[in-house]
Amino acid sequence: MSVFHNNILGGAAGQTGGAAAVEGPTKSLRFNSGDSAYLNRTPSSAGNRRKWTWAGWIKRSKLGAEDGVFSSYGTAHPNTAFVFNQDNTFQFHDFASGSFNFKLVSNRVLRDTSAWYHIIVAVDTTQSIAAYRIRIYINGTILSSSDYSTAQWPSENFETDLNSATRTDVGHHAGVYFNGYMADIHFIDGQQLSNTDFGEFDNNGIWRPKEARFTNPNNETTLSSGTQSIPDTTRPMYNLFNSSNN
């Protein structure tokens, strides 16, 4: 099993695999599972359930346990969720009526508690090629099909539970709470964005955050679900849920 280790995208046995180190954010929000700490928001109406992007920086503080990063699971199924498993792999899925509509499980692990990891989950189920319907980036590097131990892709034009008019949580999924830090969280409704929308490699190959600017359909202000986009990478993540906090 390969690792994402010491801010480096690792190859076999933790050796570097050609991806870059990262320079993470300077401000963050701490989550402690013992406090059942998480953020949540229920939009007044559904957004685009076929096309959206979630992006953010995380630093883990507890390994070998399930961790909920984000989820549409409030109190009941169905749900769309990104979670860490007990073996420190991560999983992105949509679940309903006792089965998975899609499920991606990494064969790599994120287990460096000193490292910031930049995660992008970009969804566009209107794509004709199955593997293009979900694109996950870690520290600026897109994962390929070989990076998953399980790769069950969504059907074409599938509508996720996330971005419906249901509660969305950050730092929680189905009674499982996140341990660690999060920063610079974005949710973009109606666009499948890429790594270059949120960061860039410098001349030394270091992955760095950059000011995120979004154009149509959200025009950098309000998403169609009513959530505010945050172009300033130094603002705390709760601005995603409460536009009055600046």
The pLDDT tens digits along the chain (246 residues) read: 555 443 333 332 333 333 457 777 878 999 999 999 999 999 889 999 999 999 999 999 999 999 999 999 866 678 999 999 999 999 999 999 899 999 999 999 999 999 999 999 999 999 999 999 999 999 999 999 999 999 999 999 999 999 999 899 999 999 999 999 999 999 999 999 999 999 999 888 889 988 887 665 544 333 333 333 333 333 333 334 433 332
Q: Which two tokens stand for residue 67?
A: 């961790």
pLDDT at 78: 87
pLDDT at 234: 34
Q: What is the dihedral of CA 214, 217, 220, 222, to 10 degrees?
A: -140
Surface-to-core class of residue 35, CB atoms within 10 Å of its CB (0-12 exposed, 13-18 middle, 19+ buried): exposed
Sign of CA dihedral 68, 40, 22, 114: negative
pLDDT at 216: 53
Sign of CA dihedral 229, 214, 195, 203: negative
pLDDT at 73: 82
Element (H, E) at 180: strand 180-189
Surface-to-core class of residue 126, CB atoms within 10 Å of its CB (0-12 exposed, 13-18 middle, 19+ buried): middle
pLDDT at 211: 83
The helix/strand/coil state of 123 is: strand
pTM of this prediction exceeds 0.75: yes
